[in-house]
Structure 1
Amino acid sequence: MDFLLYLALVPALGVTAQWLAWRTKLPSILLLLLFGVCLGHFVVQPDSLLAQLTGGDETAGPNILFPLVSLSVAIIMFEGGLTLKLSELRESGSSSLRLCTVGALLAFIGNTLAIHFILGFVWHLSFLLGAILVVTGPTVIGPLLRQVKPSRRVASTLKWEGIVIDPIGAVLAVLVYEELVLAQSTPHLAGALKSLLITTAIGVGLGVLGGALLTQALRRYWVPDHLHGVAALSLALLLFALANMVAHESGLIVVTVLGIWLTNQKHFDVEHIIELKENLRTLLIGCLFIVLGSRVQLSDLATIGMPGIGLILALIFIVRPLSVYISLLRSPLNYREQTFIAGLAPRGIVAAAVSSVFALSMESRTDLNIPGADQLATVTFLVIIGTVAVYGIAAAPLARLLKLADESSRGVLIAGADVWVRDFAHELKEAGFPVLLVDTNYNKVSQARMAGLRAECANILNEHAREDLDLSGIGRLLAMTPNDEVNSLALRECRTMFDSSRLYQLTFKSKNMAGRRGLTKNLMGRELFGEGLTFTRLSEMHAAGATLKTTKLTESFTFADFQDKYGEVPTVLCAITSEGALNINTVDAPLVPAAGQTILALVGTTPVPDKHAVKATKKRPESDATESTASDSAQADSGDDGSSDSNGREGAAS
């Protein structure tokens, strides 16, 4: 195969595997590994192509491949550090610390014993592989948490453990390799502790130093905005390489600490840096698993046989539960939360990369002659495939069984709490959908709570306020404030929390539809309910007497009968299918109510004409000025919390 074709095929297969995972709800890492193994078995191995590229030298393939793999892992760990908020430690700090210390030590011991007695590896190799398998793989845990959506405390604990324990496992593996495997003798505890302290000090020190320097450079505007992302990435890779030159695998500590430093400083926004790393991470994960998976031969996996399956079962059902329950004894987490954590420990890219590097190193050392060393990477990949498959399939049912997650994230987050919005939310709640209202107006929030609705007085645009919201069971956002700008900004700020297909907002007012002073369509999410149904129009309809009705359609009572009953065209807001799924009526996908569905519609009055739209069609400059003044005045009176005339009547009534 041509090397250029191989390079193009790897990312294409990576994206395809992740797309299939999204469509089938299967763990993406599992499909990536399967694609990689098939590529290596049926097409070609990357080492041979790299050897051809470098003149036929068979050692050139691994020598080029693994530095690239190491740098890619560094980028993934840097991005992982950028997701770690210190504020999360209020709930999960104690539990995460225990899992990364006591839990890691217990896992190391349990892994070693299982490998030695099940696979029959010598003790030196068992200790090395046991250290490598301590890591749990944030590249796998992250997608699983997004899919399962467990409680916030559990998700935070697993995220911190998955990212922090990776450099810990890598450093532990280095210590075992240097002090036990290479020495081929009983290790000196004092020497191991000294190496551990040096590695940790170098990693943390360089990470903090790099974070402080980059923070100063960005806050003093020494770096232009368009170079922020690449500057942070370049610094992370440089520090990673320098740290590894001084102390092997300390680079993973450096990039993790650098990411944590940047995301928790308060001097500048790192959102644009995170966006770059997220896209790069997705591409790198796909490519790495395809390439590393292609180096594993199916025949090698088959030679391990039943002992390999026995090892996977022991790690899943014995080692992980014991290490979690013992380390979390008397912790703030309850038994159900501990059980879910005990049932989620997939291995990922760090384990694959580290094991491959050590396998290559031992292959080049003819003086070691350790039985089973050639199976190190193969066993690691088998464990990765097995744990990803089991945990990926069992995580969601386990969370539902333990009542830690909603089955399908059916709930709705609504920005805004005006009177008609509260009525809409009440109907959704009565239909069995979890609803959370968010508004900055305490009076509206209080009335929502008195109506039996979950409501929080918070600014949806505030990052810290969003982090404090309990979004378990919430799967979509409806921005329904009177302010078009707030609605658009809310969707942009929440785009990392929800898929773009589940971000909705009310259509723009006429003054924002066109013109240089208006908002552009690319700032919008999916337009709610129908053309021209702005907040003002819906409020006027509701104030004029329109009510929200939930009606079950049948073969004998069709949507046409529903229309005849009310004598006018109803405004259908959403429909509930016979399977219980909620379908929102939007401009891009109008609903066609059918028998078996339950529709929620605004009925009882003829829609009030949009006076602003009428003025706009006349195209008279003075009307435009009047419209702008009136609208801007109303928004100025209401503020960002979206108070309006209807709310004034509401307040008087209350």
Structure 2
Amino acid sequence: MVLLVSWAPKGLKQLPLSLAMICVGLGFGVFALDVIGFDPDPRTWDTITERLTELVVIISLMGAGLKLDRPVSLKGWGPTWRLLAVAMPLTIAATAWLGVIGLGFSLAMALLLGAAMAPTDPVLASDVQTGPPRSGEDNEVRFNLTAEAGLNDALAFPFVNLAILVSMAGATTWAGQGLGQWLAIDVAWKLVAGGVMGWLVGRAMGWLIFRAHERGISRHADGLVAIGATFIAYAATEIVHGYGFLAVFVCALTIRASERDDDFHEEMHDFAEQIERLLMMLLLVLFGGALANGLLDALTWTDVGVGLAILFIVRPVAGYLSLIGSPLPRRDRVLLAYLGIRGLGSVYYLAYGINHGDFGDSERLWAITGFIILTSIVVHGITSTPLMALIDRLGRGSLQGEAAPANPPPKDEQLG
């Protein structure tokens, strides 16, 4: 399986398949044949499921931040801000409404489903994200999907905490008892703390990596630095009760901004990506095993219909509405809206919510989440490669049509 992780991405580049599809299929086959004698059901191993998915998400967020060549700005990140400010709340609200009306869930359970389904997964979306640092693989679709995945995992957390609050306080009393505290702590403080701590750790790590050798401190290091920075940013932020997911992504962006064109960014990104792929492989094999052992047994045809609506109506419509008025071409807006891949981040939020709240029987909640993730892995895995190849070709064609200079001036001169 380690060799599969190493070789498969290269062999699958031109095929409508993904490493995630292969890992899930492998896990399903191994556990269906009872080769391994235990049941990897996340409902049984709830704490381990939460911790393992938490680990792979934060490492993925570090890799996502390091690969972004474009500095943070209001205009340059415009479509990303639209997806976060408009598409994400619309997706949560519509999914929660479907949970209550279509599935008969309680308000708390419907909110948890909405929050878990809202983020674009930073782990499984790697096939549609930008390439390594300074690779030039950063068209508008790839860039905005990467930036969105880096930020919306943290921005889903307040809504997960809201679902936990509703589950603990009850549907009729939560607004009066805890709404003010939720706004002050779970929304305001934790988001600010995550951003500030991520920036501080990123500044410190940037100095140690790129400036400390000027003071006589050796710069000798390898890509393992990226994992160390991930853990420091995450742990420091959790200590002050901030959102560690946000801190890790901001830390990565800050490290990248410290010395944007240094080769060491590529080494850190490549190491983080290798660790991410290994963890992803492990978790998706176990996910395939959970499917083989009955994760979807509680699924009903109504659940299937609602799950498909969440994946192929709610997210695409919310995403496209958020991009109305954007200068992006229509084809880019359609792809950004469609490629809202759901995956291991959703598993983390669901496990976290159930472990910290009081949601009662969660069999159907796990079943519909597993169905949506499986469908996303298969459908997006088949369609994303040819779609992104098409966009890359169209992008190159437009550049040629604009007669871009063969030897553009150095970046310093461009900025000047």
TM-score between the two structures when normalised by the length of structure 2 = 0.81
1:122 maps to: 106
Q: How does 1:71-470 map to 2 (within 5 A)?
A: 71-87=55-71, 89=73, 92-145=76-129, 152-177=139-164, 179-185=165-171, 186-187=174-175, 188-195=178-185, 196-218=187-209, 219-221=211-213, 224-247=218-241, 250-266=243-259, 269=262, 270-361=265-356, 368=358, 370-371=360-361, 373-395=362-384, 404-406=391-393, 455-458=405-408
| 3-state SS, counterpart of residue 82 of structure 1 | helix
Q: 1:454 to 1:251 in 2, by over 3 A?
A: closer
Maintained 8 Å contact 2:112/2:350: no
The answer for the alignment partner of 1:583 in structure 2 is none
Q: Please give the residue correspondences for 1:577-592 in structure 2 after superposition, counting only pairs within 5 Å.
A: none
Cα contact 1:150–1:404 (8 A) shared by 2: no
Following TM superposition, by how much is the alpha carbon of 1:251 offset from its aligned partner in structure 2, in angstroms? 1.1
CA contact (8 A) 2:107 2:166 kept: no
Asked if 2 retains the 8 angstrom alpha-carbon contact of 1:113 and 1:126, the reply is yes
Deviations 1:533-561 (A, max 9, x none): xxxxxxxxxxxxxxxxxxxxxxxxxxxxx
> Per-residue deviation at 1:96?
0.8
Give CA deviations for 1:194-246 in whole Å, capped at 9, x if unaligned.
12111112211211111111122231226534435334422321331342344
Letter in 2 for 1:183: A
Distance 1:30 1:361, change over 3 A: farther
When Rg is computed on C-alpha atoms for both structures, the one with the higher figure is 1
- Aligned amino acid, residue 315 of structure 1: I
Q: Does 1:36 align with 2:27?
A: yes
State the 1:94 CA deviation: 1.5
Identify if the C-alpha distance between structure 1 residues 252 and 216 changes in structure 2 by more than 3 Å, giving closer, same or farther.
same
Provide the rounded CA distance (Å) in 2 between the counterparts of 1:25 and 1:397: 7
- Whether contact under 8 Å (2:87, 2:321) holds in the other structure is yes
Q: One-letter code of the match for 1:210? A: V
- Deviation readout 1:429-478 (Å, 9 max, x if unpaired): xxxxx7989xxxxxxxxxxx9xx97652237xx68999xxxxxxxxxxxx
Give the direction of change, closer, same or farther, for the CA distance of 1:158–1:28 in structure 2 (3 Å limit).
Answer: same
What fraction of aligned residue pairs are identical, expressed as a percent?
21
Q: What CA distance in whole angstroms lies between the structure 1 residues aligned with 2:412 and 2:15?
A: 33
Q: In structure 2, list runs of 5 or more residues that go unmatched.
A: none
Aligned length, in residue pairs: 399
1:170 and 1:381, CA in 2 relative to 1: closer, same or farther beyond 3 A? farther
Alignment of 1:15-30 (within 5 A): 21-22=12-13, 24-30=15-21
Q: Secondary structure at the match of 1:119?
A: coil
- Change over 3 Å in CA distance of 1:39–1:171 after alignment to 2: farther
For the residues of structure 1 that align with 2:19 and 2:254, how far apart are their CA atoms?
Answer: 29
Cα distance in structure 1, aligned partners of 2:398 and 2:91: 41
DSSP-derived class of the 2:118 partner: coil
Structure 2 counterpart SS, 1:85: coil
Name the SS of the counterpart of 2:112 in structure 1: helix
CA contact 1:144–1:392 (8 Å) conserved in 2: no
Judge conservation of contact 1:243–1:251 (CA < 8 Å) in 2. yes
Cα separation, 2, equivalents of 1:337 and 1:71: 31
Give 1:340 shift.
2.0
Shift of 1:311: 2.1
Letter in 1 for 2:274: N
- How far apart, CA to CA, are the structure 1 residues paired with 2:249 and 2:61? 6
Contact 1:77 1:163 in 2 (8 A): yes
Change (3 A) 1:360 1:292: farther
Q: Sort the Cα spacing of 1:465 and 1:42 in 2 relative to 1 into closer, same or farther, 3 A.
A: farther
The one-letter amino acid of 1:166's match is D
Amino acid at match of 2:352: V
Measured in 2, the distance between the counterparts of 1:125 and 1:386 equals 21
Distance 1:47 1:306 in 2: 29
Q: Quick one: distance in 2 between partners of 1:45 and 1:360?
A: 27
Distance in 1 (CA, whole Å) between partners of 2:163 and 2:36 is 30
The residue aligned with 1:482 is none
Pick closer, same or farther for the CA change 1:209–1:22 going to 2, 3 Å. Answer: same
1:1-50 deviation digits (Å, cap 9, x = unpaired): xxxxxxxx6x4665576577457431222222232333444336797699
Q: Which moved more, 1:316-325 or 1:101-110?
A: 316-325
1:215–1:267 contact (8 Å) kept in structure 2: no
SS of residue matched to 1:304: coil
- Deviation track 1:277-323 (CA, whole Å, cap 9, x = no partner) reads 22222222222322344344453314304223312321233212321
**In 2, Cα distance between equivalents of 1:404 and 1:132:** 29
Letter in 2 for 1:176: A
Q: For residues 45 and 16 of structure 1, do their structure 2 counterparts lie closer, same or farther at Cα, with a shift above 3 Å needed?
A: farther
| Aligned CA distance change for structure 1 residues 19 and 331 (closer, same or farther; 3 Å) | closer
CA distance in 1, matches of 2:388, 2:53: 34
Q: Mark the runs of 5 or more structure 1 residues left unpaired by the alignment.
A: 1-8, 51-57, 363-367, 412-433, 438-448, 467-654
Instruction: Return the structure number with greater helix share.
Output: 2
Following the alignment from structure 1 to structure 2, what is the Cα–Cα distance between the partners of residues 355 and 290? 19
Q: Distance in 1 between matches of 2:256 and 2:189?
A: 26
Give CA-to-partner distance per residue, 1:93-115, whole Å, 9 cap, x none.
Answer: 11110101111110111111223
SS state of the match for residue 17, structure 2? coil
Which structure is richer in relative contact order (CA contacts within 8 A, separation 6 or more)? Answer: 2
Shift of 1:64: 4.8
Classify the secondary structure of the residue corresponding to 1:406. helix
Q: Measure the CA separation in 1 of the matches of 2:30 and 2:408.
A: 51
